[in-house]
Structure 1
Amino acid sequence: MARQADEHLVTHRVKLPRKVVEHPVRQVAKRLSMALLLLVVTALIVYLDRDGYTDNSDGTLDFLDAFYYATVTLSTTGYGDITPVSDAARLTNIFVVTPLRVMFLIILVGTTLEALTERTREEWRLNRWRSTLRDHTVVVGFGTKGRSAIKTVCATGLRKEQVVVVDPSSKAIEAAAADGFAGVIGDATRSEVLKRAEAYRAKQIIIATQRDDTAVLVTLTARQLNRGAKIVVAVREEENAPLLKQSGADAVITSASAAGRLLGLSVLSPAAGMVMEDLIQQGTGLDMVERPVIKAEVGKSPREVDDLVVSVLRGHRVLGYDDANVGALELTDRLITIVRATPGSQVAPDIRPLHD
């Protein structure tokens, strides 16, 4: 019983993207209107051929009797108090009224079956989604920072099916689903919520919550579930960055300080501010990417590489292009370079945007 209750909760907490369809109320209203139209058409057919019918109560057939006959006939009740007696009326019942009865039943039964199978269909979609989700990206928080992060990772070639959004707001999850992303409604500081997002199988986790203390708790929970995932966190205050690093974050972005530095740079040099803003917008103008050293570059200095090298990643160290410790490039090194973005192109699997 507990397992069934949990499955029921999961079904209603996970929101998968779906094609835009009519509102259920509008669908039901449309089908009821079609059924009513069939009822009116049948009643008119019977009334126009009223001389071919007999009523056991008074022998005559008026408009109300025609509607009554149409109702009991289409609903397959058939009391037998009004019956077709002429050949024309019987042929009309065979070739016209009977098909209308079948259509009437299909409309009503179809509406009922659709309502009954909706939950089963959703559970099937959810189970299929779980079974195919591997090495995906979990984004906690669908605010301005979260949306921008998703836009950036998707610009590198990540498919929307590989992104799962977690947010406590149902409206935010509805917006994420409308954009084509799967969503989980709930508090990401709770492990069961992150489990619904399959965070323990995620390749990378982006945490963009509104509060720094929430970000710390989410980071601790995410790291406990997934030891190998790359976790990137955005915080407001720079003093909280060391705490997040201790909590398991691989990278911490201080949004307030970063915005302040960009503002200061733009005051000193508007052009430099524009260049920096261009660099952090993936897919336009200039992009900053991380890529491996190719064989042809081994033994060369960073200045001799065709791309504009900014830094060299050697082991766990990030060395400047002019650092004396760099020396000659090694095959195990990775380069942070500035390249010209090509509109419509995707980043190769082994090339990563610096701001992912």
Structure 2
Amino acid sequence: MPPPAGPARSTHRHRETPPRPASTATRTPAANVVRSSNDSDRPGAGRATAVVVAVDRDDTAVLVTLSIREIAPTVPVTVAIRESANLRAARRAGADSVVLSSETAGRMLGLAVATPTGAELVDELLTPETVPSLTERQVRAEEIGCAPHGLPDPVVAVVRNGQLLRAGASEAGVLEAADRLVQVRHLVG
């Protein structure tokens, strides 16, 4: 499968364990540069278009996030946290988004027990290379003033002024120019 078209983007992921060779991670336009959280080359984060912090301990994740914010104050930072009690610390350290990895995995396990096909579908929705998948995009000019449910690809949520609004909620109303849409893309191949 050829790599997706478009400008090269890089993501820094920090790990506490020894890093894999980066040679395989930089072959595609969506390169992952794996570095240790103790690596002296953290300034490379300043060249990244996004940073993912995924380490073995929440306190380390918070400290790495603080370091990234000093180096790259405007780069989007996503942090994996294991315990929900540390969610606020990660956000205060500068994380733009936080994934509660243990709780998310627990939900997927519970869903797989109760609804195996539903768990398979959720996994597919979370995998960008599959169809269907979840995407987020800016509202287009021709969609301004339309209801979210009137678009060809199903809208799951509207992001307005930093707030996540469920597409069916009355607060979502009609689409505005600055809105972002979370959609299920390409239900029909």
Paired residues of 2:14 and 2:34 also in contact (CA < 8 A): no
Paired residues of 1:189 and 1:217 also in contact (CA < 8 A): no
Paired residues of 2:62 and 2:89 also in contact (CA < 8 A): yes
Using a 3 Å threshold, how does the CA distance of structure 1 residues 179 and 227 change in structure 2: closer, same or farther?
closer
Report the Cα distance in structure 2 between the residues aligned to 1:135 and 1:281, rounded to whole angstroms. Answer: 18
* Pair 1:314-2:188 in alignment: no
**SS state of the match for residue 258, structure 1?**
helix
Alignment of 1:192-231 (within 5 A): 192-195=40-43, 198-231=44-77
* Pair 1:334-2:180 in alignment: yes
Report the Cα distance in structure 2 between the residues aligned to 1:211 and 1:234, rounded to whole angstroms. Answer: 9
Root-mean-square deviation over aligned CA pairs: 2.4
Measured against aligned partners, the alpha-carbon deviations of 1:318-344 in whole angstroms (never above 9, x if no partner) come to 11111212221112211110012799x
Q: Aligned residue for 1:270? A: 116
Measured against aligned partners, the alpha-carbon deviations of 1:287-306 in whole angstroms (never above 9, x if no partner) come to 10011212221211111111
Paired residues of 1:312 and 1:336 also in contact (CA < 8 A): yes
Shift of 1:136: 3.1
Larger Cα Rg: Structure 1 or Structure 2?
1
- More strand per residue: 2
Report the Cα distance in structure 2 between the residues aligned to 1:194 and 1:341, rounded to whole angstroms. Answer: 40
Tell me the amino acid that sits aligned with residue 80 of structure 2. Answer: A
Number of residue-to-residue matches in the alignment: 178
* Pair 1:289-2:163 in alignment: no
Paired residues of 2:158 and 2:165 also in contact (CA < 8 A): yes
Q: Give me the identity figure in percent.
A: 31
Measured against aligned partners, the alpha-carbon deviations of 1:220-245 in whole angstroms (never above 9, x if no partner) come to 11111111010001122222111101
Tell me the amino acid that sits aligned with residue 37 of structure 2. Answer: A
**SS state of the match for residue 224, structure 1?**
helix
Residue 20 (structure 2) aligned to one of 162, 173, 176: 173
**SS state of the match for residue 335, structure 1?**
strand
TM-score under structure 1 normalisation? 0.46
**SS state of the match for residue 228, structure 1?**
coil
Q: Aligned residue for 1:323? A: 169
Structure 2: which 5+ runs fail to align?
1-7
Report the Cα distance in structure 1 between the residues aligned to 2:137 and 2:107, rounded to whole angstroms. Answer: 27
Report the Cα distance in structure 2 between the residues aligned to 1:230 and 1:291, rounded to whole angstroms. Answer: 16
Structure 1: which 5+ runs fail to align?
1-133, 142-166, 344-356
Using a 3 Å threshold, how does the CA distance of structure 1 residues 180 and 324 change in structure 2: closer, same or farther?
closer
Report the Cα distance in structure 1 between the residues aligned to 2:188 and 2:49, rounded to whole angstroms. Answer: 26
**SS state of the match for residue 102, structure 2?**
helix
Alignment of 1:183-194 (within 5 A): 187-189=36-38, 192-194=40-42
Q: Aligned residue for 2:10? A: 136
Report the Cα distance in structure 2 between the residues aligned to 1:239 and 1:180, rounded to whole angstroms. Answer: 35
TM-score under structure 2 normalisation? 0.84
Q: Aligned residue for 2:3? A: none
Tell me the amino acid that sits aligned with residue 173 of structure 1. Answer: R
Measured against aligned partners, the alpha-carbon deviations of 1:128-187 in whole angstroms (never above 9, x if no partner) come to xxxxxx96321213xxxxxxxxxxxxxxxxxxxxxxxxx652xx332x3245468576x4
Q: Aligned residue for 2:103? A: 257
Report the Cα distance in structure 2 between the residues aligned to 1:276 and 1:184, rounded to whole angstroms. Answer: 27
Report the Cα distance in structure 2 between the residues aligned to 1:256 and 1:183, rounded to whole angstroms. Answer: 24
Report the Cα distance in structure 2 between the residues aligned to 1:334 and 1:262, rounded to whole angstroms. Answer: 26
Q: Aligned residue for 2:4? A: none
Moved over 6 A (4+): none
- More helix per residue: 1
Using a 3 Å threshold, how does the CA distance of structure 1 residues 179 and 235 change in structure 2: closer, same or farther?
same
Using a 3 Å threshold, how does the CA distance of structure 1 residues 194 and 266 change in structure 2: closer, same or farther?
same
Shift of 1:263: 1.1
